[in-house]
Amino acid sequence: MNSPDKKARELRHKEQELRKREQEIRLRELESEIDRSVPEHRTSKYEEPDSQAKGKLKQWRRKIIAAAQFTGLVIAVVVAVRIASWLATALIVGGIALIAYKMFIEEDKS
């Protein structure tokens, strides 16, 4: 009875080895496909010198627009801070005037 068990074990062992070899072969095939599909160096599209000048002009235009937007934002923030400080000053002076009125003038009427 040992003989069929040994044969079955050997058969299973050989099947496992065969599967392992097949996996290794498939892995090597996939690696070779990946190596073939990836170029070794980067390529770039040829651009005529005229289009390069247009590209640089577009870059400068974008930079100028970005600088103008930033400057506009800074000016808007400065104006908002000034208006807020004027309003705060008016509220403080009004509050002090109200307190002074309540303390001195209303007290005299009573």
pLDDT digit string, tens, across residues 23-77: 999 999 988 888 777 666 777 777 666 666 777 888 899 999 999 999 999 999 9
- Domain annotation covers residue 96: yes
Question: Which one-letter amino acid corresponds to residue 83?
Answer: I
Q: How far apart are CA 90 and CA 97, in angstroms?
A: 10
Answer yes or no: is pLDDT of 94 > 90.
yes
Q: Which domain holds residue 33?
A: 1-37
pTM confidence score: 0.44
- Domain annotation covers residue 53: no
Answer yes or no: is pLDDT of 110 > 60.
no
- Domain annotation covers residue 95: yes
pLDDT at 63: 95
- Domain annotation covers residue 46: no
Provide the number of structural domains found in the chain.
2
- Domain annotation covers residue 108: yes
- Domain annotation covers residue 66: no
Q: Tell me the pLDDT band of 95, cut-offs 50, 70 and 90.
A: very high
Q: How far apart are CA 40 and CA 30, in angstroms?
A: 17
- Domain annotation covers residue 42: no
- Domain annotation covers residue 101: yes
